[in-house]
Amino acid sequence: MAPTPPALSGPGPGAAFATQLKHWRHARKLSQLELSLRAHVSQKHVSFLEVGRTHPSRDMVLLLAHVLDLSPHERNVFLETAGFTGTFTQSTRDDASMRPVVEALDVMLSHLDPNPAFVVDGTWDIVRLNTGMRRLTAALAFDPAPLQRVVGESRARNMMRQLFHPAGLRERMVNWTEVAPRMLAHLRRQLQSRPSEALANLYTELLGYPDVADLPLPPPDAIALPLVTPIEYAHGAFRIRLLSMCSTFGNPQDITTDPLRIESFFPADEEARQHLHALQTSERKR
């Protein structure tokens, strides 16, 4: 698991930038030579930047941030450690500038119905969900109250906590021991590509839940894996198999928009398709 970015400390912006540059180069598993070749600068220049002997220009900071594939938030931090003002804005979801984003999310969630779908942020907190998802949780008789009592009401609105905590949807997932290791592996990859203290804390928290630390690793041989691993839920006579898919915004230019993604679920077989349509029809008749 990649370490979280180091604290911004040191005698000045040059030292703080040098620390961040070295951290992100290591996080991306690049040598100084590889980074210099990708940025079309000399290895000596990269070396001088990493020891604080050379102060970067704003254009150089942005170039290195691009090569290192930093998110908008990470690019702002990169600029600020070098003594420059951040480029990317951070809007709230109530800002007028976010209205097209919110409308796009609502359209997607609405059009996906009767398939369940919800929007999560960069730490897997659920910020929006569609009617199809509400119907599914109702059919599974999922009561969030026990989970809320253990982790808190706001923290219970987290997809990972709901799937890993014994008081969450985990109890409704038939193939939890098959799906959970892949979810943990996905979270580890996310941490490696986007190191974050919040994600690292979440990962550590999940490992502390019963039986999670003892989960087997996914098979290393890709041939042994199915194309897609369905998630199978059950409660009483109700049983459904779903495939998951993730959608993100292209070229996000705002810190708030960047981590948002839609997690949607589609029927894995004809029985699941009929279940989803039956839940929708039943609701319309009420």
pLDDT at 220: 59
Which parts of 139-273 are beta strand (E)? 231-235, 238-248, 261-267
With a cut of 80, say whether residue 224 has pLDDT above it: no
The neighbouring-strand residues paired with 125 are 158
Instruction: Clarify whether residues 103 and 238 are in a common domain.
Output: yes
Instruction: Clarify whether residues 32 and 111 are in a common domain.
Output: no
End of a domain among 81, 106, 130?
Answer: 81
Q: What is the largest CA-CA distance in the chain?
A: 72
End of a domain among 55, 81, 107?
Answer: 81
pLDDT at 255: 46
Dump pLDDT digits (tens) for 178-223: 999 989 988 988 887 777 788 899 999 999 999 999 988 766 555 4
In a domain, 86, yes or no: no
Predicted structure pTM score:
0.70
CATH number, position 120: 3.30.450.180
pLDDT at 239: 96
Instruction: Clarify whether residues 49 and 125 are in a common domain.
Output: no
What total of structural domains would you count in the chain? 2
Instruction: Clarify whether residues 50 and 148 are in a common domain.
Output: no
In a domain, 88, yes or no: no
Q: pLDDT category, 104, cuts 50, 70, 90?
A: confident
CATH number, position 33: 1.10.260.40
Instruction: Clarify whether residues 121 and 254 are in a common domain.
Output: yes
Instruction: Clarify whether residues 233 and 199 are in a common domain.
Output: yes
Q: In what order do the strands lie in the sheet with 238-248?
A: 126-129, 117-120, 261-267, 238-248, 231-235
Instruction: Clarify whether residues 120 and 217 are in a common domain.
Output: yes
In a domain, 108, yes or no: yes
Distance CA 280, CA 36 (A): 56
What is the domain range of residue 24?
13-81
Beta strand 261-267 with 238-248: parallel, antiparallel or unpaired? antiparallel
Dump pLDDT digits (tens) for 123-159: 899 989 999 999 999 999 999 999 999 999 999 999 9
In a domain, 4, yes or no: no
Q: pLDDT category, 256, cuts 50, 70, 90?
A: low
Torsion of CA 195, 198, 203, 208, to 10 degrees: 150
Instruction: Clarify whether residues 267 and 208 are in a common domain.
Output: yes
Q: Report the percent of the chain where pLDDT is more than 90.
A: 53
Instruction: Clarify whether residues 103 and 77 are in a common domain.
Output: no
Q: Give the pLDDT mean for 7-30.
A: 75
End of a domain among 81, 107, 126?
Answer: 81
Instruction: Clarify whether residues 129 and 266 are in a common domain.
Output: yes
Instruction: Clarify whether residues 126 and 214 are in a common domain.
Output: yes
